[in-house]
Amino acid sequence: MLKNLRSVRLLVGWFLFAQGFICHEALAVYASPINAGCYVAAAGQCKIHVDPFTIFVATGKRLVFYQLQANGHVIYSFKTDVSNPPLNNYSPSVVMQDFAATCGTIYTVNLAGQDSGDPVAYNLGQTTPITCPASAP
């Protein structure tokens, strides 16, 4: 019995090891680097500024949605038109690049997105931790 148990463990171990070498389908969506900073907008008010970025969508696929997240919380969610979603690459407008933040707080900003070629959303980029100023000078 002990010999059979060892054989089963060895077989399971080899199976799990081999899973690391199986090629999975490549993502159909990716993005340019995500860069962001935090600034004092007014006394006691800070904002996270996200630099312009582009979401690259595979040829023939359509952007489904993207989200900007700060510390895992959605700060901007964009969904596309059902009948005519953006085809190929998409660069958001400047209007949506500044977001309310708490002064003195450290944030990590993520960009998540999905196109019609991917089954789920993926993390497309992330900043290093950003520290908002504690107060106005």
Cα 68 to Cα 85: distance, rounded to the nearest angstrom: 19
Residue 102 in this model has a pLDDT that exceeds 90: yes
**Mind listing the pLDDT tens digit for each residue in 44-77?**
899 999 999 999 888 888 888 899 999 999 999 9
Report yes or no on whether pTM surpasses 0.85: no
**∠ Cα 43 44 48 (to 5°):** 105
Q: Decide: 37 and 130 in contact? Cβ < 8 Å.
A: yes
- Rg (C-alpha) for the chain, rounded Å, is 21
The second-level CATH assignment, the architecture, of 25-131 is: Sandwich (2.60)
| Ramachandran angles phi, psi of 15, nearest 5° | -60, -50
- Centre a 10 Å sphere on the Cβ of residue 53 and count the other Cβ atoms it contains: 20
Of the two residues 45 and 17, the one the predictor is more confident about is: 45
For the chain, the average pLDDT equals 80
Closest CA to 44 of 133, 108, 106: 133
Query: In the prediction, which pLDDT does 10 show?
Result: 47
- 15-24, 26-35, 122-131: range with highest mean pLDDT: 122-131
Residue found under tokens 């900007």: 68
Tokens of 99: 């977001």
Local structure of residue 102 (DSSP, 8 states): -
Residue 31 in this model has a pLDDT that exceeds 80: yes
Query: In the prediction, which pLDDT does 19 show?
Result: 43
